[in-house]
A = this chain, B = another copy of it.
């Protein structure tokens, strides 16, 4: 993997003097074009061995290009707000929006590689982390990001030389500390772990470029021209004319006619007098759970999806009534804002992921991607199809971080929906709850039904299972939601 980067590549002064200004100018032009078009973000990842010129190159890029539209992120200490969320959260919040560039000096590779090289992490976990990285980057690329990854390499001998020369110079001495020498002693382990990481994560959509770091001019021209080439290719791409995506045909009908939503017993109900008592009991139980000392180490993310008029709002209010207002937040999902549109679709949900010890309720959620966006063809078929595994990855991050992810699908029958729509139209107080759109959605009942069955089949996981709620009887539905939630939290504590 590193063979070509130990050849002692170098560029002489004269060549550099001729090539650098042209390259610089072309890079700046490409960057401005990117800004103007605003069609995708540019992510530059910088990694590699100490003393190989990573910092110098980052500074150079900021000098060559317009630094106002580049955000450089160094991998500092985690803040406590970051520590309280899944590890990848810190990177989500740093993603550049479309049109802008982000340089990650230290990235999602740093921690896995360092921990593995120092033997504090087992190989199996390392492999899993690399696999996650591949999936994360693939998602970013599918969402439009241009990702360029640079690995700065030095042969062992060159690294030693370089560290010594940095140490000799009074101006650069501060850069070589014990840590750098310790890393050097560990050169071979670091090299082998890095090689494994690069091999596993050098994908077609986000390949690594290994740069020999010994000669300043060589690495500047290498990195600069690699960025320029990739950027130009994306900018010059002639996009095939956008077809208005077609809504998918109905799914294959089940051979025996049975299907998930149809198999729910919607006649389930609970007598009103039992309801009151049970509701209070469950709310009390929920309240006590959130006051359990162990709750500070977990956190709850409850997701509500359902047929229109299935009673999501009512169920949510029965939960919040059991909680202390200081501890929960309800996030109603509407159309994305302008800032949210500049980011991958999961970004607007990541930004609301709570710290540990908190309770967040999503009223509609990231599942819009495989429900309304699928049925209304707002997303292409390729896009919503890949969303299933992207969402599973997302929820796995949350679950592995100790959060309870509870997802509820509220189902009512088509007849019951009609009854509720008509009731809403009659009662002045409820008229705002029924719109033309609701009626239009109702006409697409079967398409939504297909989407729901697919969604549950593909995203109900051990970590984040779906609970189907029979909601023709609102009282029954509310109790089942509360009970499920309590059980999930109890299991996690």
Return chain B residues, CB-CB under 8 Å to A456: none
A92 vs chain B, min Cβ distance (A):
16
**Residue pair A58, B326 in contact (C-beta under 8 Å):** yes
Q: Any chain B CB within 8 A of the CB of A339?
A: yes
10 closest A-B pairs by beta carbon, nearest first, are A74-B326, A72-B325, A68-B332, A338-B338, A68-B330, A62-B325, A58-B325, A79-B81, A67-B320, A59-B325
Q: Which A residues, 425 to 448, have Cβ-Cβ distances below 8 Å to chain B? A: 429, 432
CA distance A74 to B354 in the complex (A): 14
Return chain B residues, CB-CB under 8 Å to A164: none
| Residue contacts A-B, CB under 8 angstroms, 7 given | A58-B325, A59-B321, A59-B325, A67-B330, A68-B363, A69-B332, A74-B326
**Residue pair B80, A326 in contact (C-beta under 8 Å):** no
Interface centre among A69, A320, A363, by most chain B C-beta atoms within 10 angstroms, is: A320
**Residue pair B67, A432 in contact (C-beta under 8 Å):** no
Interface of A is mostly: helix
Give the contacting residue for A79; candidates B80, B330, B332; CB below 8 A. B80
Q: Any chain B CB within 8 A of the CB of A105?
A: yes
Give the contacting residue for A63; candidates B317, B326, B338, B429; CB below 8 A. B317
Q: Any chain B CB within 8 A of the CB of A127?
A: no
**Residue pair A324, B59 in contact (C-beta under 8 Å):** yes
Copies of this chain in the oligomer: 2
A465 vs chain B, min Cβ distance (A):
24
**Residue pair A67, B326 in contact (C-beta under 8 Å):** no
Q: Any chain B CB within 8 A of the CB of A250?
A: no
CA distance A59 to B71 in the complex (A): 41
CA distance A48 to B156 in the complex (A): 66
**Residue pair A432, B325 in contact (C-beta under 8 Å):** no
Q: Any chain B CB within 8 A of the CB of A461?
A: no
Q: Which A residues, 280 to 300, have Cβ-Cβ distances below 8 Å to chain B? A: 291
Give the contacting residue for A337; candidates B105, B332, B338, B429; CB below 8 A. B338
CA distance A363 to B67 in the complex (A): 11
CA distance A320 to B316 in the complex (A): 50
- A33-75 vs B, CB cutoff 8 Å, 1 = contact: the mask equals 0000000000000000000000100110111001111011010
- A312-333 vs B, CB cutoff 8 Å, 1 = contact: the mask equals 0100110011001111011110
CA distance A50 to B273 in the complex (A): 36
Return chain B residues, CB-CB under 8 Å to A460: none
Q: Any chain B CB within 8 A of the CB of A226?
A: no
Q: Which A residues, 401 to 451, have Cβ-Cβ distances below 8 Å to chain B? A: 429, 432
Q: Any chain B CB within 8 A of the CB of A32?
A: yes
Beyond A55-B326, A67-B316, A74-B327, list 15 extra A-B contacts (CB 8 Å): A25-B429, A55-B324, A55-B325, A58-B326, A59-B325, A63-B320, A67-B317, A67-B325, A67-B330, A68-B316, A72-B329, A105-B326, A337-B337, A337-B338, A337-B339
Closest-by-CB residue of B relative to A171 is B284
**Residue pair B69, A321 in contact (C-beta under 8 Å):** no
